[in-house]
Amino acid sequence: MVKSYTRYEQTQAYGLVNSASANVVWAQDDFSRLSGAGKAIVGANEEVLCWDVKKGELLSRWKDSKCGYEVTAIAQSGADKDVYAVGYEDGSIRVWDSRTHTIIISFNGHKSAITSLTFDSSGARLASGAKDTDIILWDLVAEVGLFKLRGHKDQIVDIQFLKVGPGYTNEETDDEAAANSDTGDNFLLAASKDALLKIWDLSSQHCIETRVAQTNGECWSMGLSPDGSGCITAGNDGELKVWSVDQEGLRSSASQLGDSQEHHYLHDRGIIYRQGKDKTTGIKFHPRSDYVTIHGSDKAVEIWRIRSGEEVKRSLARKRRRKREKAAAAGDQNGDVEMDEDGPPDDISNADVGEVFVPHVIVRTGGKVRSVDWSTSRASKLLQLLIATTNNLLEVYNISPKEKSKKSSSADQTPDYNRSFSVDLPGHRTDVRSLAISSDDRMLASASSGLLKIWNVRTGSCLRTLECGYALCCSFLPGDKIVVVGTKAGDLELFDVASSTLIESFSAHEGAIWTLQVHPDGRSLCTGSADKSAKFWDFKVVQEEVLGTTRTTTKLKLVHTRTLKVTDDILCLRFTPDGRLISISTLDNTVKVFFVDSLKLFLNLYGHKLPVLSISISSDSKVLASSSADKNIRLWGLDFGDCHKALFGHNDSIMQVAFIADPQLEEAHTLFSASKDRVMKTWDARKFVQVQKLPGHHGEIWAMAVARNGDFAVTASHDKSIRVWNAVVDDPIFLEEEREREMEELYESTLTTSLGADNDAEGDGAGENEEKQEVGAASKQTITTLTAGERIMEALELGLEDLDVVGEYKGQVALNPGKKIAPPERDPQYMALGGISAERHVLSVLSSIPAASLQDALLVLPFSTLPALLTFLEIFVERRWNINLATRVLFFVLKTHQKQVVSSRELKARLESIRGAVRKGLGEWRDLVGFNNAALGFLEGRVADSGASRLEDVEELDDEGKGRKKRTFVDVA
Query: What tens digit of pLDDT does each residue of 736-794 get?
Result: 888 888 888 888 777 777 766 655 555 444 344 334 678 888 878 788 888 888 889 99
Identify the pLDDT of residue 943. Answer: 84
Residue 852 phi, psi dihedral angles, 5° rounding: -70, -20
**What is the DSSP-derived secondary structure letter of residue 253?**
G
Domain final residue pick, 742, 773, 802:
742
Q: Is residue 274 part of a domain?
A: no
Q: Is residue 177 part of a domain?
A: no
Q: Is residue 793 part of a domain?
A: yes
The pLDDT of residue 378 is above 80: no
Long-range contacts, 116-119 (Cβ 8 Å, 24+): 116/73, 116/156, 116/157, 116/158, 116/159, 117/73, 117/74, 117/75, 117/85, 117/86, 117/87, 117/93, 118/75, 118/159, 118/160, 118/161, 119/75, 119/76, 119/77, 119/78, 119/79, 119/83, 119/85, 119/161
Q: Is residue 370 part of a domain?
A: no
Contacts of 666 (CB under 8 A, 6+ apart): none
Across the chain, what does the average pLDDT equal? 85
Residue 506 phi, psi dihedral angles, 5° rounding: -145, 160
Number of domain units in the chain: 2
Q: Is residue 287 part of a domain?
A: no
pLDDT tens digit string along 310-336? 888 888 888 888 888 888 888 755 545
Better pLDDT: 434 or 667: 434
Q: Is residue 581 part of a domain?
A: yes
**What is the DSSP-derived secondary structure letter of residue 370?**
E
DSSP-derived 3-state class of residue 177: helix
pLDDT tens digit string along 591-612? 999 999 999 999 999 999 999 9
Are both 659 and 604 inside the same structural domain? yes
What beta strand segments (E) does 83-124 contain?
83-88, 92-97, 102-108, 114-119
Are both 709 and 835 inside the same structural domain? no
Are both 736 and 590 inside the same structural domain? yes
Identify the pLDDT of residue 31. Answer: 59
Q: Report the percentage of the chain scoring pLDDT > 70.
A: 88
Are both 648 and 796 inside the same structural domain? no
| Cβ atoms within 10 Å, residue 829 | 13
**757-to-69, 146, 228, 775, 854 alpha-carbon distances in Å:** 20, 22, 38, 18, 21
Are both 682 and 801 inside the same structural domain? no
- DSSP string across 778-841: -----HHHHHHHHHHHHHHHHHHHHHHHHHHHHHHHHH-TTS--PPP---HHHHHTTS--HHHH
Are both 548 and 487 inside the same structural domain? yes
> Residue 576 maps to which CATH number?
2.130.10.10
Nearest partner of 682 among 698, 658, 714, judged by Cα: 658
Residue 934 phi, psi dihedral angles, 5° rounding: -65, -40
Are both 684 and 796 inside the same structural domain? no
If pLDDT is split at 50, 70 and 90, which confidence band does 134 have?
very high
The pLDDT of residue 960 is above 90: no
pLDDT tens digit string along 886-897? 888 988 888 888
Q: Per-residue b/e over 830-852, b at no fewer than 16 CB within 10 Å? A: beeeeebbbbebbbebbeebbbb
57-62 vs 71-76, strand pairing mode: unpaired
Phi-psi region at 343: left, alpha or beta (left = phi > 0; alpha = psi -120 to 50): left
The mean pLDDT of 503-521, rounded to a whole number, is 94
Q: Is residue 540 part of a domain?
A: yes
Q: Is residue 132 part of a domain?
A: no
**Whole-angstrom Cα distance, residue 854 to residue 234?**
40
Domain final residue pick, 924, 941, 966:
924
Are both 495 and 631 inside the same structural domain? yes
Helices (H) and strands (E) in the chain, counts: 15, 57
Amino acid at 291: Y
DSSP-derived 3-state class of residue 963: coil
Domain final residue pick, 689, 721, 742:
742
Residue span of the structural domain in which 596 resides:
432-742
